[in-house]
Amino acid sequence: MTKPDKVHGEGNYKASKEFDDAQKAFVQSGRGNAAAGKAAPKSKAEAEELLKAEALAKSRSKVRNPASEESFPESRRKK
């Protein structure tokens, strides 16, 4: 009988490595483009709904990504 792993949560290095390896294999497999195509909006209305949801989520965010600041109105940008 093996001892149970006492490292859990964010400190579980084995699980973190397994996840990273699986992500790397997925990206290298080329299946990402097919998955992205399946996730694309199916209609103009769905695309607009997704953009509204994204804007709402960004408006509630405490930390903003500087790379996406151009999508924020000037009045909402962090100074």
pLDDT tens digits, one per residue of 14-46: 888 999 999 999 989 988 888 888 989 999 999
State the total domains in the chain: 1
For residue 71, being part of any structural domain is answered with no
* Enclosing domain of residue 27: 13-60
pLDDT by residue (tens digit) across 47-75?
A: 999 999 999 998 887 776 666 655 555 55
For residue 68, being part of any structural domain is answered with no
- Dihedral angle, C-alpha 64, 41, 53, 30, nearest 10 °: -30
For residue 67, being part of any structural domain is answered with no
3-state secondary structure of 73: coil
Which position has the higher pLDDT, 13 or 3? 13
For residue 22, being part of any structural domain is answered with yes
- Non-local CB neighbours of 69 within 8 Å, separated by 6+ positions: 77
For residue 72, being part of any structural domain is answered with no
For residue 33, being part of any structural domain is answered with yes
Alpha carbons 50 and 72: distance in angstroms, whole number: 16
* Sign of the C-alpha dihedral computed for residues 48, 39, 22 and 11 taken in this order: positive
For residue 2, being part of any structural domain is answered with no
For residue 52, being part of any structural domain is answered with yes
